[in-house]
Amino acid sequence: MSFYCFLADLIAVFHLSYITFVIGGLLAILVGRLLGWSWVRNFWFRLIHLMMILVVVAEAFCGILCPLTEWEDRLREAGGEYSEPGWFIDRVVHKLLFVDLSPEFLTVCYAIFALLAIMVFLLIPPRRKASDAVETESSDR
């Protein structure tokens, strides 16, 4: 395996991690609210989570190919790979990342997910300081 293909595999794993953070983060916020997990209201976690999905939606609406996908493809070409990658972890990551759906359908899905993330951000607001957590928890009860 060439160094370029290795870098492409790393990008594919990072890409999957990005997606997992966006989807898993929203689930964690919802479950955490029900179970009283204070960390799901961390301001920076929530802001980063929201910005990550908004970047995806902006790319989709502008018709921009995800830079991670583009970099991975270019690295694979530089490494001499033109067909479906053969390394196990790479095949698994690709099957999870690249489903055969139209770009229009995916854009609608991204937009709906972003709207849900915005609603959750507003309905379960993040907290900036520890003192906010104490005040809000007492008012939540």
What is the pTM assigned to this prediction?
0.79
Cα–Cα distance for residue pair 15/6, rounded to 1 Å: 14
Read off the pLDDT of each residue in 76-82 and give the average, rounded to a whole number: 85
Query: What per-residue confidence (pLDDT) applies to 12?
Result: 87
Read off the pLDDT of each residue in 20-33 and give the average, rounded to a whole number: 96
In this structure, what are the phi and psi dihedrals at residue 32, rounded to the nearest 5 degrees?
-60, -35
The residue range of the domain holding 11 is 3-140
Contact between 111 and 60 (Cβ < 8 Å) = yes
Q: What is the DSSP letter of 36?
A: T
Confidence category of residue 132, pLDDT binned at 50, 70, 90: low
Confidence category of residue 130, pLDDT binned at 50, 70, 90: low
8-12, 14-18, 136-140, range with the lowest pLDDT: 136-140
Q: What are the C-alpha distances in Å from 34 to residues 118, 127, 136, 141? A: 18, 16, 14, 12
Share of the chain above pLDDT 90, in %: 56
Q: How many domains does the chain have?
A: 1
Cα radius of gyration rounded to whole Å, the chain: 18
